[in-house]
Amino acid sequence: MTHRLLVVAGENETLRALPSRFAGDVDVRLLDSADDALWEMRTNPPQAIIANVQLDGLSGLEMAEILPNFEVPTRLLLWSQSADASAQKQASSYGVYRFMEGPVSVEEWQTVVQEAIASIPEPAPAPVEPLTPEPAPQRPAPPAAPASPAAAKAPAAAPASPSKGGLAARAAAAEKNTPKPAEKAPAPAAAPSEGPMPGQRRREGTLVLTQENITPIRKTMSDLLQDLGAQSIMLTDRAGMTLVEVGSTDKLPMMIVLPLLSTSFSTAGEVARQLKDDDATTLYIHEGTTYDLYCFDVAQRYLLVLVFNKRIASSKIGAVWVNAKRAIRELREALS
What pLDDT digit, counting tens, does each position of 1-32 carry? Answer: 788 999 999 989 989 988 888 877 788 999 98
Asked if residue 189 has pLDDT above 60, the reply is no
Asked if residue 162 has pLDDT above 50, the reply is no
Is residue 6 exposed (0-12), middle (13-18) or buried (19+ Cβ within 10 Å)? buried
Q: What domains are defined for the chain?
A: 3-118 (3.40.50.2300), 214-335 (3.30.450.30)
Distance of alpha carbon 132 from alpha carbon 144, whole angstroms = 35
pLDDT value of position 316: 85
pLDDT value of position 294: 93
Percent of the chain clearing pLDDT 90 (strictly above): 31
- What's the average model confidence in pLDDT over 186-201? 41
- What's the average model confidence in pLDDT over 34-46? 85
Which is higher by pLDDT, 328 or 169? 328
Which is higher by pLDDT, 238 or 60? 60
Least confident segment among 24-33, 116-125, 130-139: 130-139
CA-based radius of gyration for the chain: 34
- What's the average model confidence in pLDDT over 237-259? 87
Which is higher by pLDDT, 161 or 36? 36
Average per-residue pLDDT for the chain: 77
Question: Cβ atoms within 10 A of the Cβ of 244, count?
Answer: 18
C-alpha 111: how far from chain center: 34
**Vertex 316, ends 34 and 209: CA angle to 5°?**
125
Asked if residue 327 has pLDDT above 80, the reply is yes
pLDDT value of position 188: 46
**132 touches 64 (CB < 8 A):** no
pLDDT value of position 128: 59
Distance of alpha carbon 59 from alpha carbon 253, whole angstroms = 36
What pLDDT digit, counting tens, does each position of 264-319 carry? Answer: 776 666 666 777 766 667 888 888 889 999 999 887 788 999 999 998 887 888 88
* pTM for the full predicted model: 0.54
Distance of alpha carbon 194 from alpha carbon 183, whole angstroms = 32
Binned at pLDDT 50, 70 and 90, residue 172 comes out as very low
User: Which of 10-14, 48-52, 128-132, 319-323 is modeled with the greatest confidence?
Assistant: 48-52
Residues 6+ apart with CB under 8 A from 114: none
**232 touches 247 (CB < 8 A):** yes
pLDDT value of position 333: 87
Asked if residue 108 has pLDDT above 80, the reply is yes
pLDDT value of position 161: 45
